[in-house]
A = this chain, B = another copy of it.
Amino acid sequence: MAVTADDVATVAGVSTATVSRAMRGLPRVSPKTREKILAIAEDLGYVASSSASGLATGRTRTVGVLAPYVNRWFFSAALDGVCQELHGRGYNLSLFNLGGGRSRNRDRAFNRTMVQKHIDALLVLCTPLTKEEIKHLHQVDMPLIVIGGPVIGCSSVAIDDYAVAEQATNHLISLGHKDIALLHGDDDSALKFAVPILRIKGFKDSMVRAEIPIRKQWDRFGDFTAVSGRRALVSLWEQPGPRPTAIFCASDEMAFGVIFEARRLGISVPGDLSVIGIDDHELSEAVGLTTIRQSPTDQAQIGTKMLLDELAGHRGAVRTVVASHELMVRDSTAPLQVSRPSHARARGPGA
């Protein structure tokens, strides 16, 4: 089990200092000795203890990732981006999951503790943070980047959520729609997470600019899941009065829910209802969902690279970057049918 640098040194007939230098590719070791040491290390299965070198150098070669979820589209895609970048650079990844809805405060403090003295840099994935938490993060003096949403006082890599929502809404408007419902996400209202708010604002401003009235009765809350999308459509269709001809969904997963439920209710998409999402989820193409593409993987990769560059000594490497987005027009949106039949049921599911 415990094969140490001493063991290698003894076998090689050199000192541990030389072993250390040889293993890390430092100069001041003759090619011959290095080769010999490397061979012996390989042979003995020697791997430097990260605890020991961490203690000696003050560096753990580990980047921490703070995430509220790990199994939702944005977060798992971003995690993949982090892994990709960390890879060849020889860094480890330490994952801190805040556990989304469940177990709020106590665990958060716990995590703050765990983070310290353990990692060289921290990447925060689109987490709603309290003011106090932000303060704590700054106290821990290490490179820090936020992915997927702006946080005051922190550098971040994210799309311009306001512009994205605006563009999505304009797409609907340009197709002639005026009766547009809004399905917004708001899964952490207490913490005032910026992303849902920005998307709502983008939608509303766009409507106002086009002089289209926003109907409050077509406003629905979702939690970024497909299930909440289904619920929203049902409640929209159950309510008396006129019905929207289009719906702006703040995320693709909610848009999926709307589309799947529409099929059940016999509502034709895009015949009766145009649906647009935001994200370009991996299933969106297969579903034929019109959406605005963003790449959490790319964003996370960029953020990780900045962190690593900063650690490598490039001061100022970590900075705020606005990531790109792109409208993907597919089959779920269509021009408004001027004279369309009333929203009668067409047929049962799958018929």
Q: Which 5 A-B pairs have the closest CB atoms?
A: A51-B54, A83-B97, A71-B76, A76-B76, A51-B55
Partner of A70, one of B83, B116, B256: B83
A244 at the interface (CB under 8 A from B): no
A15 at the interface (CB under 8 A from B): no
User: Are B286 and A257 in touch, CB under 8 angstroms?
Assistant: yes
User: Are A87 and B70 in touch, CB under 8 angstroms?
Assistant: no
User: Are A95 and B97 in touch, CB under 8 angstroms?
Assistant: no
User: Are B71 and A349 in touch, CB under 8 angstroms?
Assistant: no
Output the residue of A113, A114, A256 with the most chain B CB within 10 A.
Answer: A114
Within 8 A of B (CB), among A281-302: 282-283, 285-288, 297
User: How many of these chains are in the complex?
Assistant: 2
Within 8 A of B (CB), among A114-153: 114, 116-118, 139, 141
User: Please, which residues of chain B bring their CB within 8 A of the CB of A103?
Assistant: 87
User: Please, which residues of chain B bring their CB within 8 A of the CB of A69?
Assistant: 80
User: Please, which residues of chain B bring their CB within 8 A of the CB of A70?
Assistant: 70, 76, 79-80, 83
User: Are A45 and B271 in touch, CB under 8 angstroms?
Assistant: no
A60 at the interface (CB under 8 A from B): yes
Q: Tell whether A268 pairs with B97 under 8 Å between CB atoms, given A118-B92, A256-B286.
A: no
Partner of A271, one of B54, B268, B270, B351: B351
A213 nearest CB across to chain B (Å): 28
User: Are A283 and B226 in touch, CB under 8 angstroms?
Assistant: yes
A345 nearest CB across to chain B (Å): 14
CA–CA, A91 and B317, complex, Å: 31
User: Please, which residues of chain B bring their CB within 8 A of the CB of A253?
Assistant: 283
A344 at the interface (CB under 8 A from B): no
A162 at the interface (CB under 8 A from B): no
User: Are A113 and B51 in touch, CB under 8 angstroms?
Assistant: no
User: Please, which residues of chain B bring their CB within 8 A of the CB of A229?
Assistant: 286
A29 at the interface (CB under 8 A from B): no
User: Are A52 and B49 in touch, CB under 8 angstroms?
Assistant: no
Q: Tell whether A94 pairs with B93 under 8 Å between CB atoms, given A47-B117, A50-B117, A350-B268.
A: yes
A242 at the interface (CB under 8 A from B): no
A1 at the interface (CB under 8 A from B): yes
A-B contact pairs, 21 of them (CB 8 A): A1-B141, A47-B117, A50-B60, A51-B51, A62-B94, A71-B76, A71-B297, A72-B76, A83-B95, A84-B97, A87-B110, A90-B110, A93-B94, A226-B283, A226-B286, A253-B283, A256-B286, A261-B286, A283-B283, A288-B349, A331-B350
CA–CA, A287 and B226, complex, Å: 10
Output the residue of A48, A50, A52, A288 with the most chain B CB within 10 A.
Answer: A50
User: Are B117 and A48 in touch, CB under 8 angstroms?
Assistant: yes
User: Are B282 and A260 in touch, CB under 8 angstroms?
Assistant: no
